[in-house]
Amino acid sequence: MNLRIPGPTPCPDEVLEAGAQQMMNHRGPEFAAILRRVTEGLSWAFQTSDDVYSISTSGTGGLEAAVVNTLSPGDRVLSVSIGSFGDRFGSIAQAYGADVEKYALEWGDAADPAEIARRLDADPAIKAVLVTHNETSTGVTNDLETIAREVRSRERLILVDAVSSMSSIPCPVEKWDLDVVVSGSQKGWMVAPGLAFVYMGPRAWEAYESSTMPKFYFDVKRAKTSLDKGQNPWTPAMAVYYQMDRAFELMRAEGLEGIFTRHADIGAYARERADQLGLTLVPTDRQRASDTVTAVWWPEGVDGKAISKRAREEFGVVLGGGQGKLDGKIFRIGHLGFVSKEDVQQAFDVVERLLAEQKASV
Ligand SMILES: *Cc1c(COP(=O)(O)O)cnc(C)c1O
C-alpha cells in the first residue's frame, strides 16, 4: 500500500518493530529512560530548551489541552480559520465557554497577518489568538512567523495547531516566540496515532495560573509534576513511546535541516506534477502551498471518488479526499514523515493514468 493520506502516515519497519516490544512498568526506571529520551527528542524537534509534554490522546486532545490550560470561560479569543482544522480549534474554545471571534477565510486562502493585527487593535480585550500553522484540509501553510510577530507585539497569547507541520517544516517555537504549540504523533513523526505533544512557553504557564477552564486528564501541571519523576500522570500509550524512541534515532540521523529540505523538495515536486497534469491547486497563493500535503481540485466533470476507489483497489494508492464542503471535489496527497519522492511520484502516476482512462471512456 502507498498510504498517501495526510495522517496516519506510514512507519518505517524498524519503528514498527520497536512498537512490538513487551510491556514494562510504566512507573519503573526503564520506562523513565524512554520518556526522558522522547521528551529530549521533542524539545529538539520543537527547537526549545523547555520540556515538551506528551499526552496520550490524538491531536485534537492536544488542541483541547492548549485551550483549557491557558484560558477561562468568557475570555475573548480570536479564532483564525482557513479550513476544517481551524474551525475545530475555534469550536473547542467555544465548547469551553470562550467568547470566540471568528476570522474565517475562503478555503484555499491563507490568513492575512495584517488583518489579524487590525482585529487585535480593534479589540484590546482579545486575550489569545488560535491559529493553524499548516491547514491539512486545504494544503495551505499560514505565514506563522509574521502572524506571531503581530500577535506578540500586541502582547496577546498565540496558541498554535502545528499538528501537521511540526517535525516536517520549520516551526521553531522559541525563535518565533509562540506560547502554546501542539502536534500529533501520526503526522510527521513516523509513528502510530496515540500521542499529542504540547509545548507551553513561559507566558502560557503564567496564563495557566489564572486559567479557570475545567481540566483534569489534560491538566499540563499534572504532566509536568509527573515528568519530573520520569512518569506520565496516567497510563500512557506505551507502544507509541517505544516507536517514538526509535523514530528519533532516525530523525536525528537525518537532521532537522535534512528533514526540512526533503519535505520542501517533495512539496515542490508534488506541485510540479499537478501543473503538468493541468490541475489546479486548492491553495490560491502558491507561496503558501504546503510542503506536507498537496490539495488539488478534480477537474470539472471528473468523478474523483471513482478514481480514488480505483487507485486504492487496483494500484494500492490511498489518496486523501476532501473534508466537509470539499468532499468529492478535491484530492489530497500527504507527503510528511516517512516519505520519499518516489512515493509521491507513484501516486501522481496513478492519478495521471486514471484521469486519462476516465476521459477516454466518456
Ligand atoms: C490531524 C490534524 C489534527 C488532529 O486530528 P486528530 O485526528 O485528533 O489527531 C489537528 N489539526 C491538524 C492541522 C491536523 O492535520
Percentage of the chain modeled with pLDDT above 90:
99
pLDDT in tens, 278-306: 999 999 999 999 999 999 999 999 999 99
CA distances from 149 to 53, 115, 177, 269 (A): 25, 13, 8, 30
pLDDT in tens, 26-50: 999 999 999 999 999 999 999 999 9
| 28 CA distance to ligand 1 middle (Å) | 31
Cα atoms found within 13 Å of the Cα of residue 301, Cβ hemisphere only:
7
| 164 CA distance to ligand 1 middle (Å) | 7
| 176 CA distance to ligand 1 middle (Å) | 22
Pocket test of ligand 1: the residue of 163, 294, 323 to mutate, having most ligand atoms within 8 Å of its CB, is 163
Write down the pLDDT at residue 359: 87
Averaged pLDDT, 197-205: 98
CA angle at residue 193 from 15 to 2, to 5 degrees? 65
Instruction: Give helix 84-95 / helix 59-68 axis angle, nearest 10°.
Output: 40
Q: Is the CB of 184 under 6 A from ligand 1?
A: yes
Averaged pLDDT, 313-319: 98
pLDDT exceeds 90 at position 330: yes
Write down the pLDDT at residue 132: 99
| 157 CA distance to ligand 1 middle (Å) | 21
- Give the closest residue (by CA) to ligand 1 atom 5: 59
Write down the pLDDT at residue 159: 98
Residues whose CB falls within 8 Å of the CB of residue 285, separated by 6 or more in sequence, listed in order: 109, 110
pLDDT exceeds 90 at position 361: no
Q: Is the CB of 85 under 6 A from ligand 1?
A: yes
- Give the closest residue (by CA) to ligand 1 atom 12: 163
pLDDT exceeds 80 at position 362: no
pLDDT in tens, 67-125: 999 999 999 999 999 999 999 999 999 999 999 999 999 999 999 999 999 999 999 99
Bridge partners (DSSP) listed for residue 76:
99, 126
Averaged pLDDT, 321-345: 97
Domains in the chain (CATH in brackets) are: 2-6+256-357 (3.90.1150.10), 14-252 (3.40.640.10)
Helix, strand and coil content of the chain, in percent to the nearest 5, comes to 45, 15, 40
pLDDT in tens, 121-137: 999 999 999 999 999 99
pLDDT in tens, 210-235: 999 999 999 999 999 999 999 999 99
Number of CB atoms found within 10 A of residue 114's CB: 11
Write down the pLDDT at residue 144: 99
Of 91, 215, 146, give the one whose Cα is nearest residue 198.
Answer: 215
CA distances from 257 to 171, 177, 185, 253, 309 (A): 12, 20, 20, 11, 36
| 184 CA distance to ligand 1 middle (Å) | 7
Write down the pLDDT at residue 99: 98
Cell of 161: 495547531
